[in-house]
Structure 1
């Protein structure tokens, strides 16, 4: 119990880094060149077009480039787990591999055939890392280490109480625009060519000052309404925080064999939650989600207040509204002191953090180009897609 509590004191800055991986999962995207001449369309009509899209099948290649302004995260997973790469965490671990997308450029291949069949492959030179979902089976395979992770899943295991969604494209569009409200500007920003396809660009911008988001641009396939491009820009300028998009896409049904998988001869296979000393690499996404839920109310709770319409988890205080919402969490544990964390972790925290003080006392702002978090020395956390000054002002007001 003591070790768990101690470890939780390092979770906030790591969650700040990890939000990029979550963001990457929202929409695949990246741009090509050209400005196709398309019929005029309003923002409302374009949102309706996205909502009406019923793309069930596709395959293609896209490139993801992420720049959160973070220092290198190499080796941090092993340090955080308290072991080496040979003992603490496996290269086949989906959590670890997807976290690598937090920085740099990566090429991915994707395929989908309805809700029961998907495949994602990260290409790294001659090496590949694949995640395959085929019915009740989920596989992860790392060709470099020849390691396999396998888990059986069942739809009946999913939690009940899912939110009811609007039933028509018009209702969906109304919900999106209502959530945007007075805090958001939603416009059509011209057209683009993405992977050789004509697309409209939906541009979303905060109207409020204090947000770290400059704009979000989504390129929408003019024919199918499928999002093809997602670019997230920070008020800091420079390279986009996230620039990801299709370089090739085909909406035909992929061959059934695309989703077949058989562990190669001699491969090390980890089943379910197996792993040395219960290491995190053997845990399923559902297990990890439950742990986050227990510690912080889940990712939705931790970051739910940072976008229009977001809501904090029970027991969490959400300050403000819209893009400048800030989640306030009382961890009950004082911030880690210098020298308390492993060397690699301490270096990462020092590179991320700025010491601040005010009426609230003192603390450290862990910063990226998108999500910032203030952890006070007495264990309170203020987190959101807002500037450092906005966090300090919120902490001062809290006193």
Structure 2
């Protein structure tokens, strides 16, 4: 169980909408289309040419402000995600500067961030929520993070990338470019990619690249990427669901400058009185922490969840059903669904808010729903997940029988 918790923390670090985009964009084809007329007035360009422009972009320096709005159609996640991540809002009231706890907040709500980039060696991201700030600074082989609400500092030096800290060449979480790269990294014939006019983003002229599935059954309606006409840098990313309403992810710059940020942007001094936690000390929850968090001992939690969805199943990886946007991953968790009476109240309330009971040839189970990614967990421990409708998951489970 302890090893599983450690693994969860590694994979949950920097949990951001990038994960959603990566699952949703299974396979993408390159379908050329001429740019429509719009404002601003820019030269016509094909989708293929615009994608090549993005690929050729070599933006090494920039600073600016961008907003990230995420609406997965979920109940409030801050408390639960904080707890699972080793977390800031775990009920202790002490807070945390650990990035795995703080940046999980980007999975829901609207947030304003400031960013500064000076090549692969220096990046800074500041999360502005009300009067409080959270800053994450990467400078050479060091990472510093500061949470003003709790006056705590997180520090990691050396091979931090192996523990979840971004490697020097990684994009900062939730940036429009990182999101766009997730969508454009694969190719196939299941997708339409067109240029749909132009836009003005953060005072910059941009083309609108629209990516949409051709297949029926996907929960993705479209992905729209605003691409800076001069540099090829993605300035805005919007992921829309077939369920309508607000975009699932809407991340874009409101201000941007491609000049080199001042060196002082990346300097970090530990604030007076702040508690400093080294990276190899973060997230070491003991049995008493888990019991306080969920009201159950580690042994009871082990019994309730076992390996359910946490690395059980076929060592060769999940079975892939379908293709493109309607791809479904299926695997055997190796454990039946936990009984209601064995599940902590906090987790059970979350599961009830997300899940609908379903049945079919496969037996019975629960479909857990978001506006993009849905998962069917059968009572005998089989799991089917994809950016597809609940019915598509049920059909896949029925076909497996």
What is the TM-score of this pair, normalised by structure 2?
0.78
Task: Give the secondary-structure state (helix, strand or coil) at the position aligned to 1:121.
Answer: strand
* Matches of 2:373 and 2:78, distance apart in 1: 20
After superposition, give the CA deviation of every residue in 1:268-293 in whole Å (9 maximum; x if it has no partner).
Answer: 11102214744699xxxxxxxxxx9x
* Matches of 2:286 and 2:110, distance apart in 1: 28
- Per the alignment, residue 153 of structure 2 pairs with 148
Q: 1:323 to 1:78 in 2, by over 3 A?
A: closer
* Matches of 1:23 and 1:341, distance apart in 2: 26
* Matches of 2:130 and 2:22, distance apart in 1: 22
- Per the alignment, residue 365 of structure 1 pairs with 367
Deviation at 1:243, TM superposition (A): 0.8
Q: 1:379 to 1:184 in 2, by over 3 A?
A: same
Task: Give the secondary-structure state (helix, strand or coil) at the position aligned to 1:252.
Answer: coil
Is residue 19 of structure 2 the alignment partner of residue 22 of structure 1?
yes
Task: Give the secondary-structure state (helix, strand or coil) at the position aligned to 2:104.
Answer: helix
Deviation at 1:104, TM superposition (A): 1.2
Is residue 134 of structure 2 the alignment partner of residue 129 of structure 1?
yes
Deviates more, 1:80-89 or 1:343-352: 80-89
- Per the alignment, residue 351 of structure 2 pairs with 349
Is residue 214 of structure 2 the alignment partner of residue 207 of structure 1?
yes
What CA RMSD, in Å, does the superposition of the two structures yield over aligned residues?
3.4
Deviates more, 1:84-93 or 1:67-76: 84-93
* Matches of 1:177 and 1:348, distance apart in 2: 33
Deviation at 1:357, TM superposition (A): 0.7
Deviates more, 1:100-109 or 1:185-194: 100-109
Q: Is the 8 A contact 2:86 2:101 kept in 1?
A: no
Q: Is the 8 A contact 1:241 1:369 kept in 2?
A: yes
Q: Is the 8 A contact 1:88 1:279 kept in 2?
A: no
- Per the alignment, residue 69 of structure 2 pairs with 65
Deviation at 1:153, TM superposition (A): 2.6
Q: Is the 8 A contact 1:185 1:205 kept in 2?
A: yes
Counting matched residue pairs gives: 344
Structure 2: gaps (5+ residues): 24-37, 165-182, 290-306
- Per the alignment, residue 57 of structure 2 pairs with 53
> Of 312, 321, 324, which aligns to 2:323?
321
* Matches of 1:112 and 1:178, distance apart in 2: 23
After superposition, give the CA deviation of every residue in 1:30-79 in whole Å (9 maximum; x if it has no partner).
Answer: xxxx8200000000000011011000000000111111110011321465
Q: Is the 8 A contact 1:21 1:99 kept in 2?
A: no
After superposition, give the CA deviation of every residue in 1:170-210 in whole Å (9 maximum; x if it has no partner).
Answer: xxxxxx98943220001001000000000001100000001
Q: Is the 8 A contact 2:155 2:279 kept in 1?
A: yes
> Of 392, 396, 399, which aligns to 2:398?
396
Task: Give the secondary-structure state (helix, strand or coil) at the position aligned to 1:374.
Answer: strand
* Matches of 1:316 and 1:139, distance apart in 2: 36
* Matches of 1:111 and 1:178, distance apart in 2: 25
> Of 382, 385, 391, which aligns to 1:383?
385
After superposition, give the CA deviation of every residue in 1:331-364 in whole Å (9 maximum; x if it has no partner).
Answer: 1011122132221211111000011111111111
Q: Is the 8 A contact 2:70 2:248 kept in 1?
A: yes
- Per the alignment, residue 91 of structure 1 pairs with 96
- Per the alignment, residue 194 of structure 1 pairs with 201
Deviation at 1:4, TM superposition (A): 7.0
Deviation at 1:154, TM superposition (A): 3.6
Deviation at 1:85, TM superposition (A): 3.6
Deviation at 1:95, TM superposition (A): 1.7
Counterparts in 2 of 1:181-330, with a 5 A limit?
181-275=188-282, 277-278=284-285, 295-296=310-311, 314-330=316-332
After superposition, give the CA deviation of every residue in 1:192-242 in whole Å (9 maximum; x if it has no partner).
Answer: 000000000110000000110000000000000000010000000111001
Structure 1: gaps (5+ residues): 27-33, 160-175, 282-291, 303-311
Q: Is the 8 A contact 2:94 2:150 kept in 1?
A: no
- Per the alignment, residue 76 of structure 1 pairs with 80
